Amino acid sequence: MNPVSEQQAGEQSGEVLRRHLRILEALLFASDVPLRPSDLAPYLGEGVDIPGLLLRLQEVYAERGVNLVRRGEGWAFRTAEDLGFLLRREEHETRPLSRAALETLSIIAYHQPATRAEIEEVRGVATGKGTLDLLMEAGWVRMRGRRRTPGRPVTYGTTDAFLDHFGLERLSDLPGLDELKGAGLLSGRLPADMQIPLPLDGALRDDEDPLDPADLGDLEPEDEET
């Protein structure tokens, strides 16, 4: 290959890279939810290194007013952390979660996959009907599967929307127990010797069975076999 053709190849390669980055930028900017590489792949064709492109685009936006951040398996543009205060005046006032809902959400986050009975055991009180419904309607909690124990109770876990709302890249970024108590997210009813476990983030555990897809539309959070 002569020098001219090498230069042309380099220019073409650079142009393809810029085009791919622009496509990712447009798709992520237009989406109100984090997008996974599998969501982006149809727009870029086969053989494209999407994870590598996302990391490159993240570098481009590292010092800007908006940053490209990872939320679980998804990616999204979000306001830079040091500029978040500028947008507080635009936030709509929302009804805060009850203490029971906050405790339930925290326990699910740290103990997932967790059943309703396990949540109640940690809290020391019964979980009122509707608490799990509320968290699921918010999009922060999902039904994962069914535990392979008598009654086959439903197991619960958090979602990518939970990570996005609380500004977490992965579950391992969750704050420690002392931070949670200091923020008022956990009450004094919790056992004094409670330890923060490592939450499971991903596929079903060995002691879980998948939910029947045909039942997902009708299955309620409190609908556990007895």
CB 100 within 8 A of CB 127: yes
Diameter over CA atoms, the chain: 77
Q: What's the mean pLDDT in 115-133?
A: 86
pLDDT of residue 40: 94
pLDDT of residue 2: 54
In sequence order, which residues have a C-beta less than 8 Å from that of residue 76 and are 6 or more positions away? 28, 31, 33, 34, 35, 68, 69, 164
Q: Is the pLDDT higher at 14 or at 132?
A: 132
Q: Is the pLDDT higher at 23 or at 220?
A: 23
Q: Is 115 exposed, middle or buried (0-12, 13-18, 19+ CB in 10 A)?
A: buried
pLDDT of residue 223: 47
pLDDT of residue 88: 57
pLDDT of residue 190: 54
Query: Which domains are present in the chain?
Result: 3-82 (1.10.10.10), 99-215 (1.10.10.10)
**Whether residue 96 has pLDDT greater than 50:** yes
**Whether residue 74 has pLDDT greater than 50:** yes
Summarised one tens digit per residue, pLDDT across range 141-156 is 999 889 888 888 888 9
CB count in 10 Å sphere of residue 160:
20
Summarised one tens digit per residue, pLDDT across range 9-67 is 555 578 889 999 999 999 999 998 899 999 999 999 888 999 999 999 999 999 999 99
**Whether residue 92 has pLDDT greater than 50:** no
Confidence tier at 91 by pLDDT (50, 70, 90): very low
Residue 81 tokens read as 């952390």
